[in-house]
Structures are given as C-alpha cells and as structure tokens.
Amino acid sequence: MNETTSTKKKEPIEESQVAPGHRACAGCGELLAARLVMNAAGKNVIATCATGCLEVVSSAYPQSAWKMPWIHSLFENPTAVASGVEAALKALGRENEANIIAQGGDGSTADIGIGCLSGMLERGHNVLYVCYDNEAYMNTGVQRSGLTPFEASTTTAPSGKISWGKTTDKKPMPEIAAAHGIPYVATASVGYYADLQKKVKKALTIKGPKYIQIHCPCPLGWIHDPALTIKVAQVAVQTGLIPIFEMENGVITSVRKIVKKRPVEDYLKLQGRFRHLLKKSGGEDEVKRIQAIADQNIEKYHLI
C-alpha cells in the first residue's frame, strides 16, 4: 500500500432514513425503492403510508424502520391523511418546515385509493405521492390489481386451460395523474436508482401535488430469484414494457432512451408468473401480443 492510498480519506457513509432490520423478503424491490426515496428526500419529511406490504414489513409494533414522522393509514387514504397534514402545517404557519410524502402500493394507488388520490391532486395539496408498483396485491396473496401487466398469472387471474392470465394491460396511472393538471409526474425503476433519486429531489422543489410511479420487482409474487431484482427491473425498461419519463404540466419533458432494445421474452423468462406463456401451446402468439405493447410504448414515448 503506497502513502497516497493509506492516507486517502474514505467517503462518509450517510445514515439511511429507512433502518435495516425490517421484515421485507430478500430482494424486495419495494423496500429498496422506499429507502431510495426517503434517502433522496432527506430528514425533513413527514410520511404517510397505506396498508400493504410496505407498512407490514416496516412497522411491526412496537418497532419501526422509519426515521421520520410516519403515519399508517387505511388502504385507501394515505393521500387524504397527507392532505390533512399539509393543511395543518399551513394553519400553523409551518408549511415550509417539512416535505410531505404519501405512499401506497399499486392496489392502493390504482384501485382502492384512486378516489382519495384524485381528490388530493385536484385540490392542489403540496404533497409528493409515490406509487410503489409491484404489480399485484402482494401482502394479501398476489391478487391482480389495475397495474398488473397483461397475461401475468395471479391468484385471482390465474393461467389455466382457458386463460392466459390477466386480460387487460396496466392502467395508465401516470397519465391519469397528469390529467388533473398537476405540475409534475414521473416514472422510475429500482433498476436505475440515480434516476429515481434525482426525480424525487426534483419533485420536492416543485410546489403543488406531484406523482412518481416506481416499478418494483417482487421476488415472491413475480416468482424470480431474489438476487435478480435489479436485473429484472432493468430488463423491463430495456424492452419498453416500462417506459421511464417525466411530465411537467401535462407535457412529456424527458424520457430514458433505450440504448439496446431487448425482446420481451428476455423479461418474461426471468419470472414464473409468465412461465405459462413460454410452455403452453399457442404461447408464441401471446408473447407477440406483449411484444406489441412494448413496441407501442417505444413509439408513443419515443424511447428509441
């Protein structure tokens, strides 16, 4: 070891705002996303969180992994609770003292809580909403949600002799959020953490309601190797199935370009929830239908 190496100072390790020791599964994309969000947001945060995997694994009484004021809400109303927090801070003249982040999974966001979310966006509360999109109701048994992808097999939309899985594609929640006339909407992926954190920091500089949807692989529900969470997330983006973009005042202002396009089969074969498409007779035609969805995304968002 030379003198330069021995005297070089190590970069300080910043304390994570979501503590280790939680009960998340190995390779949990949702917990990883939440940690990235909160670390990007910093210490001056008040967070609300819907019922679901994120709440269950991080707040088993009397312990909590959250190193900030954190409120567990019902499945449907983290946005209503966050709206109340924001209104209370305004009434106290303290609205500039903390950033408010409301959080929910895809079921809370796109299905059960979409009414309260719409109300928060329409009223113009200065709150960042984060959707952790793991594409099913994972906490209660992998039931399909509005954000479950086309032909994925779930417990309530199973593949079988007369079914290929879910019969509809993902609900376009970013576009639905943008239709409320809010100033900022973005999509992100745990596979690209720097992009994710950059968008969180940017959103928190903008006054008014903001919406970020983060694609989060779930090894248990997607049936993939926990060690492959980041790879699975990245391949989803590289196929075009998960477009990564920003919208400001309803206009797309940036997209993450696909450097080397990959066929959707590269993504499907990594997961057990799509295994039937690669094994059943006629599956080739179904894979082509999914490829068409990816190609439409590429054209729509100019990803190439």
* Class of the domain covering 23-301: alpha beta
In the structure encoding, which two tokens stand for residue 78, read together? 């983290």
Cα–Cα distance measured from residue 302 to residue 304, given in angstroms and rounded to the nearest whole number = 6
Cβ–Cβ under 8 Å, residues 102 and 120: yes
Position 249 scores a pLDDT of 97
Burial 95-123 (b: 16+ CB within 10 A, else e): eeebbbbbbbbbbbbbbbbbebbeebbee
Does 6 have pLDDT greater than 60?
A: no
**pLDDT tens, position by position, 216-268:** 999 999 999 999 999 999 999 999 999 999 999 999 999 999 999 999 999 99
Does 101 have pLDDT greater than 60?
A: yes
Q: Determine how β-strand 70-72 pairs with β-strand 45-49.
A: parallel
Residue spans of the domains in the chain: they are 23-301
Cα–Cα distance measured from residue 29 to residue 214, given in angstroms and rounded to the nearest whole number = 10
Name every residue whose Cβ is closer than 8 Å to that of residue 155 and which is 6 or more positions away in sequence: 141, 142, 143
Does 184 have pLDDT greater than 90?
A: yes
